[in-house]
Structure 1
């Protein structure tokens, strides 16, 4: 079963992008097991841990559950280290010896303490087209969503007909923390998923659930840090959030935007890019694969 668990686990970790979580847990768990074992028993302990214990299944499947793990990097690593330490069979408090279940429960309590709380029910206000086949869904929230520009949410829709991708997606919050509305930018394709098909049928007044605020892809703390924003198509959404935040805050930073698109019509958020150029001196360099160059886009520099 070991090859099956390894193969399946690697696929899960790759899909969820949680290598830091699993690696930290594995290193701490194995180090703690060896530290609490007689040196003469190291080989036996490692063989039993990797071959007979639930360590690998626990790390790949149970530890990586998105709903119970912290959503940002350093709390996530601390969570993995706590669970890894308590996973070792010789760890105990008085007469209470920790089991994998108790180790995970303790880690979950830590995760709950450090993670953003709450699930938001957002109401659609309007839909705006940002580029060809790309639209912004603009929502209102009954309470303030505190986030940093560049972070993302887990978005959940009730589907009449589901597919193998399910009813949940992770999308960047395209709006800035300084804006009142919550903005979701999405590109639609001819063979869209069931989630996007349902999203495309939403009308003003429809609702969507958002939760699991996360993400470390945010502006550096040092405003003097030189930055190049590299984006393609609708993948510019986190930079739209950051640029709008800087515009609203009147904060100048040494930033250049490198933006690639298939055609000029695929360029999104021209208004924000232009305003960032005029107000903050942030230059955008476009690379357009097909058709006329982007040279006529106002208030930007271009390259075809």
Structure 2
């Protein structure tokens, strides 16, 4: 799959552009407009989900962009209310129909106790076998559940999409992903805007003539982490994409890592039966 000169990461035979465009909380009109614009800017990875209620708009945006479908990596997600066998496959088919395209990647949105992880993973594999997606993965799975899902899956789990930014350590989960031959995708990569006023990130940004957002996205990409920032502003989407012409030093990378705290998580909707990794 051609992705121009963009950095990518491989999980097995699946190649994924490291910088994507997210559509969480985008109303359909904004999603359609921004997906088309993001693709014109140069993004080649688009992320959505059934629960975002904008899959049709995302598909329309892809068609509006004029970028060939085969040049785009497209991700969507199965919502937790649809994990039962049969329900999951039906939602996978519905999502593909709404998008107007077979997604490249289908994720389980959050871990759930019932149905069991093993049963849900079996249904996800069946959706892949039926042609509703090209590859599969998970989202918001701590290491213990990530391993359990990977062990239960016939097909490789190509990513685990989780919250990640400089205020949150992901050391254990990244090591788990590496051990499983998988990847990490970061949602809320800019910490919902908190990074804009951070003195450390500002100082690093000034040294490179970049913005705090650009430095933070570069920090993620240099770790081999997929980042999916979202915005309703075309100028910001262009700014976020302009991170391929500089590199952070090891010392600068460490300075951003040092910003992590135990209270750094911004979005915690995990089932209380599960526990996040400690670091």
Q: TM-score range by the shorter chain?
A: under 0.3
User: What TM-score, normalized to structure 1?
Assistant: 0.23
More strand by share: 1
Length-normalised TM-score, structure 2: 0.25
Larger radius of gyration: 1
Higher helix share: 2
